[in-house]
Amino acid sequence: KYPRSIIMAHAPMTLFRVIVCALALLPAAAGDFCATKFEQYGDFAFEAASLLNVTFFDEGGYAVVDVAMVPSDGYIAGYAAEKYVISSCTNLPGLEALVPGATEYITVASKISVKTTTVVALVDKIDAVDLLVAYDDIQWTSSQTVIDHVLKFSIPLTHVQYPGSGIIDTVLLTQGSELHITDHYNCVDDRAGLVNTTIPVVCIPNSLETTPLGKAEWMKLIGLLLIGKGGKSITEFSGISSYYSAAKLFATSKTPKTVIQGDYSFPFWWNGNTGGWSMSWLNSYIASHFTNGGGVYVAPSTYSPNTYIDLPGAKETWAKAEFWIASDALTTLASTDSDVAWIKNMPAVKCGNVYQWTARVNPNGGNDMYESADVSPDVVLKDIIKILNPELLTSHTLYYAQKIDVSAYEGICPYDTPETTTPTSSSTTTTTTTTKSTNGTNAGAANAATGLTGLNLGLTIAVAILGSVLIVVALGTSLMFQRRARAANTINDALKVGTFSA
């Protein structure tokens, strides 16, 4: 149709266009990963985390994550609202124009630096420790996976190698960090330390969440930030949430047990040299844990988290608690201070129900309760259920909590159920109250049998009928206890299904 000369004249340009198009269709080279959309972005939403919201654009090409502001109350540090624009593709241009005013513009990362144990726990939970190229310090870290990775690959520990700064921009640049993740306490300082770099900083204020699942769901934000970890974060949290919800239903079906968490703080300059009780407040995530585990968390209604409770208020409050979760119970109990002498008579102490979150403490004092427990609320809930209602989890061994031996201070437990028994004497009727449950015999039945010789036939028949009724009742009671035992076993088996690693 066209002269040969015209076709040959346009051949070079046509060939050039073909090559350009072909190159555009080739996968990105290693290090230039480009996903067409985030993994499972259609199912990605924050449900338990009250401070997070995510919106996807460009068919999952990029996401806008809004972090809500949390004001300071004088006890916890406040947190300013932030906005992160996260691109799933390294060559997606113009996001600053599309979403102006964001705190950080971020491309999914394959190399990260992390600060604090609470943040590294989120990374560890979604199997992303292999992306870690710099960390602040392992002496407080409990995760053996993190420790092994740091030692194997000689990961620089910025806080140890460069004391006084905690973060060195040249180190992170040398290591090729593409993203720095820290907590909200270190957010301002870390951004200042990286101000001369292009490394974005993401701050994780999950400790400000008021529910256990809310704290743990921040692992999904970490998954969104890292190459190939979005799906893992969704799957991991979904399993934890499902188990937690099911265990909560079983635990809350029992009669609630009163529980308190806190310690007496001896007089120091920082508490006005007055001493008092330092307690977790009613709207804290740990209070939510206790409620979900079958407890009633006891705390004064007038308590605010930035004050210590004076002793009169503490006495009134703690007198109601059947279980005491302490930080250092034995030190408090061993004190000869007259102001704390009454503690030895607390119901929780007399009943021997004193525990601490100290089962997993490393030689340097790092406590795993403040690391992996944040991302393993299901395991914490198991511990609480085991403490409050051990019959529901007969095979579970306490993981974060441990029982403290306070036998030297134990006595009559006011929460033991009194039982009334009647002596067999026919001439006197006396009521005796015991503090421990017993399986006594029915003395009245023996007396009835002795007196049958003097009764008429009608009374004999009545007694026989009554005896039959008693037998039926006894059989029914036996069947009821068997059903309860089977139900308990069913609950126990259900709670054992899908045990999650901590």
Q: Report the alpha-carbon distance of residue 359 to residue 401 in Å, rounded.
A: 5
CA distance readout (Å), 208 to 50, 75, 214, 282, 449: 10, 12, 9, 14, 69
Give ∠ CA 187-113-369 in degrees, rounded to 5. 70
pTM of the model: 0.75
Look up residue 357 and give its amino acid: W
| Secondary structure letter of residue 292 according to DSSP | H
Q: Report the alpha-carbon distance of residue 220 to residue 41 in Å, rounded.
A: 11
Report yes or no: 399 and 359 within 8 Å, Cβ to Cβ. Answer: yes
Strands 402-403 and 354-356: antiparallel
> Burial of 5 by CB count in 10 Å (0-12 exposed, 13-18 middle, 19+ buried)?
exposed
The pLDDT tens digits for 188-214 are 888 988 988 999 999 999 988 989 999
Give Cα 306 to chain centroid, integer Å: 23
Report yes or no: 83 and 64 within 8 Å, Cβ to Cβ. Answer: yes
Q: Report the alpha-carbon distance of residue 249 to residue 232 in Å, rounded.
A: 26
Nearest to residue 75, comparing CAs of 259, 303, 313?
303
Q: Is 475 helix (H, G, I), strand (E, B) or coil?
A: helix
Residues near 500 by Cβ (< 8 Å), separated by ≥ 6? 239, 240, 243, 376, 378, 379
Residues near 235 by Cβ (< 8 Å), separated by ≥ 6? none
Beta bridge partner(s), residue 135: 114, 157
Continuous segment of H or E residues that includes residue 87: strand 82-87
- pLDDT by residue, tens only, the chain of 502 residues: 444 444 444 444 444 444 434 433 343 333 344 545 787 777 789 999 999 999 998 888 899 999 998 766 555 556 789 999 999 876 667 888 889 999 999 999 999 999 999 999 999 999 999 999 999 889 999 999 999 999 999 999 887 655 555 456 888 988 999 999 999 888 888 898 898 899 999 999 998 898 999 999 999 999 999 998 999 999 999 999 999 999 999 999 999 999 988 877 666 554 455 566 677 777 788 999 999 999 998 876 555 554 555 666 777 777 888 999 998 898 888 887 776 777 888 899 999 999 999 999 999 999 999 999 999 999 999 999 999 999 999 999 999 999 999 999 988 888 775 544 444 444 333 333 333 333 333 333 333 333 323 333 343 334 344 444 444 344 444 444 443 444 344 344 444 443 333 3
Give ∠ CA 383-264-276 in degrees, rounded to 5. 135
| Secondary structure letter of residue 310 according to DSSP | P
Q: Which residue has the tokens 């799933």?
A: 88
